[in-house]
Amino acid sequence: MENIFDVAHTLVEHIRNHCPEDIAVIAYYGSYADGTATKRSDLDFFFIPATTVGYQASLQFVLDGISFDFWPISWERAERMASFEEPKTTIIANSKLLYVRSDEDQARFMALREKTRLASQQGMKLMDKAEAEVRDAFVHLHKMNQWQDSTPIGVCRMEAYEVLTKLLQSLALLNRTYLTKGWGKNQEQIMQLALKPTQLEPLMKQIMTAASPIELRAACGQLAQEIVALLSDQKAAYRQPASYAERVPGFYEEIKGVLDKVLTACEKRDYDLAFFAAAGAQVEIAHALYFGEHGFWPGLSEDLHMIYNKLGLPDLVALLDPGNYMPLYEAVERLNELLVSHLKANGVVINQFDGIVQLKQFLQHKAGLSDVQC
């Protein structure tokens, strides 16, 4: 094919002549956008529909042996890409425009491109997204742990691919960036990342070339653990002084309702309710205490119950016993007292009223402070 862009221009002209108001943006990305195309390279291009009719412009075809995929991305999905909430941020950040319906559409698209730059400055949010990618990788690692020596190597490599791509995506987010090229073309960028496991390159090669399930599983597991350790080290830099009053106001008033459910379950000897309410309360309290102490929620690399255990709060879940509810009942009462004491000692104001008169006085005082008449 002498000029692959003849195809793009043909499609653009078709849009101009038949549905100009239904397509907001047409752009291309990939090897032709970054100047690395070969004779077999396809043209990666997409469009953003402006109406529901616009989606009908989607078209996939092969011309002169070259594949073309003219595929739609909604404005909402483009927004997620620009915010690093979906992979392929490079589609927004580095694509080249072929067509825009209006100045407003161009301005909206360029605002998304600017958003990719601003999003890269939000370290903690990108850290959370990196952890989410690692969590997804662990789903596939779990499948790998079920392998037998006789598991077909093709099956093993597909799971290893899922693990590797998710871990590398996590690594890019940890470095506050995005991968600018497709898999297999982005090794140079990956190896130039400032934050990466010391054994990244040999582990990647091992994952891509291993011929046994055991070797694949070991390499994927080691890479996952090294990235989790990197996440832990980087999160340490975001720890802030404890600020319970600012971070968890109103938490106790909500969690008390769950603790009361545990007491009721104990009184009725309802083990199902006791199990879910006790476990749920303990997890929520552990999360809130961690957040109050550090300023961010615990992730894969943090011990969820670190603060909970440090304060000596009772382990409700360990006391679950369908034959004897009294230890759990007493532990909930003790936990309630200890939690209130800890929160108040750290400046948290807890709204507890002995009667309707106190509630009315509180509401009148609140209205006076805000000049709001209720």
Asked whether the CA dihedral 93, 193, 209, 38 is positive or negative, the reply is: positive
Q: Where do we find the tokens 């497709």?
A: 182
pLDDT for the residue 370: 57
pLDDT for the residue 363: 85
pLDDT for the residue 50: 96
Q: Where do we find the tokens 């800890």?
A: 342
Distance (Å, rounded) from C-alpha 61 to C-alpha 12?
A: 15
The CATH architecture to which 5-119 belongs is: 2-Layer Sandwich (3.30)
CA atoms within a 13 Å half-sphere pointing along the CA-CB vector of 118: 9
pLDDT for the residue 2: 60
List Cβ neighbours of 208 (8 Å cut-off, separation of 6 or more): 164
- The domain 123-236 is placed in CATH, from the list 3.30.70, 1.20.120, 2.30.30, 1.10.3470, at 1.20.120
Q: Are 295 and 243 in contact (CB under 8 A)?
A: yes
Q: Are 124 and 56 in contact (CB under 8 A)?
A: no
Element spanning 29, H or E: strand 23-29
The contacts found for 117-121 with CB under 8 angstroms, 24 or more apart, are 117/93, 119/82, 119/83, 119/84, 120/84, 120/176, 120/177, 120/178, 121/176
Q: Which residues of the chain have pLDDT under 70?
A: 1-2, 301, 369-374
Phi, psi of 161 (to 5 degrees): -60, -45
Provide the H-helix boundaries in the chain: 5-18, 31-34, 75-82, 90-93, 103-119, 123-144, 153-174, 187-191, 200-209, 213-236, 244-247, 251-268, 271-294, 306-310, 326-345, 356-370
Distance (Å, rounded) from C-alpha 78 to C-alpha 99?
A: 16
Q: How many residues does the chain have?
A: 374
Q: Where do we find the tokens 């969590």?
A: 135
pLDDT for the residue 373: 46
DSSP calls for 348-359? ------SSHHHH
Residue 67: DSSP 8-state: E
pLDDT for the residue 318: 97
Nearest alpha carbon to residue 132 among 262, 297, 4, 20 = 297
